[in-house]
Structure 1
Amino acid sequence: MIRIYGIDFTSAPRRGKAITLAKAELNEKELMITDCEDLTSTTEFGEFLMTPGPWIAAIDFPFGQPRKLVLDYRWPCSWEGYVDYVSKIGKEAFEGCLRNYRDKTSGKRRLRRQTDVRAGSLSPMQLDFTPVGKMFFTGAPLLQRSPCTVIPFRICSSGAGIIVEGYPKLVAVKAIGRQGYKSDLPIPKNAHHRELRNSILKWIQSPAAQNVYGYRVGITESIVSDCLDDPKGDKLDALLCVMQAAWSLSKRRAKFGVPDDCDLLEGWIVDPALIITTMSGK
Structure 2
Amino acid sequence: MTAALLIGCDFSSSPSRRKPIVMAEGSAAKGRVLLAGLERMESLQGFEQCLRRERHWVGAFDFPFGLPRELVEHLGWPARWPELIRHYAALSRPAVRDTFAAFCDARPPGQKFAHRATDKPAGASPSMKWINPPVAYMLHAGVPRLLAAGVHLPGLHDGDSHRVALEGYPGLLAREVLGSRSYKSDDRAKQTPERLIARKDLITALEHGQTRLGLRLKVSHAQRDALIDDASGDSLDAVLCLLQAAWAQQQGAPRYGLPLEMDPLEGWIVTA
Q: Give the structure-2-normalised TM-score.
A: 0.92
Q: Secondary structure at the match of 1:255?
A: coil
| Change over 3 Å in CA distance of 1:207–1:129 after alignment to 2 | closer
Q: Tell me the amino acid that sits aligned with residue 226 of structure 1.
A: A
* Partner residue, 1:279: none
Q: CA deviation at 1:160?
A: 4.1
8 A contact 1:6–1:59 mirrored in 2: yes
8 A contact 1:52–1:160 mirrored in 2: no
Deviates more, 1:70-79 or 1:236-245: 70-79
* Partner residue, 2:265: 265
Residue in structure 2 matching 1:132, options 126, 131, 135: 135
Deviates more, 1:239-248 or 1:92-101: 92-101
Is 2:46 aligned against 1:72?
no
Q: CA deviation at 1:253?
A: 4.1
Q: Tell me the amino acid that sits aligned with residue 196 of structure 1.
A: A
Deviates more, 1:105-114 or 1:4-13: 105-114
Where does 1:1-282 land on structure 2 (aligned, <5 Å)? 1-102=3-104, 108-156=111-159, 158=160, 160-184=162-186, 186=188, 190-209=192-211, 212-253=212-253, 255-271=255-271, 274=272
User: What RMSD, in angstroms, separates the aligned Cα atoms of the two structures?
Assistant: 2.0
Cα distance in 2 for residues equivalent to 1:230 and 1:119: 25
* Partner residue, 1:280: none
8 A contact 1:59–1:164 mirrored in 2: yes
Cα distance in 2 for residues equivalent to 1:80 and 1:183: 34
Q: CA deviation at 1:260?
A: 1.5
8 A contact 1:51–1:161 mirrored in 2: no
Q: Tell me the amino acid that sits aligned with residue 269 of structure 2.
A: I
| Change over 3 Å in CA distance of 1:133–1:113 after alignment to 2 | same
Cα distance in 2 for residues equivalent to 1:122 and 1:5: 23
Cα distance in 2 for residues equivalent to 1:104 and 1:260: 34
Q: Secondary structure at the match of 2:145?
A: helix
8 A contact 1:52–1:159 mirrored in 2: no
Matched residues, number? 269
Q: What 5-or-longer segments of structure 1 have no aligned partner?
A: 275-282
Q: What 5-or-longer segments of structure 2 have no aligned partner?
A: none
Q: Give the structure-1-normalised TM-score.
A: 0.89
Cα distance in 1 for residues equivalent to 2:266 and 2:32: 32
Give identity over the alignment, percent. Answer: 29
Q: Deviations over 1:85-107 (max 9, x none)?
A: 11123222222211111487767
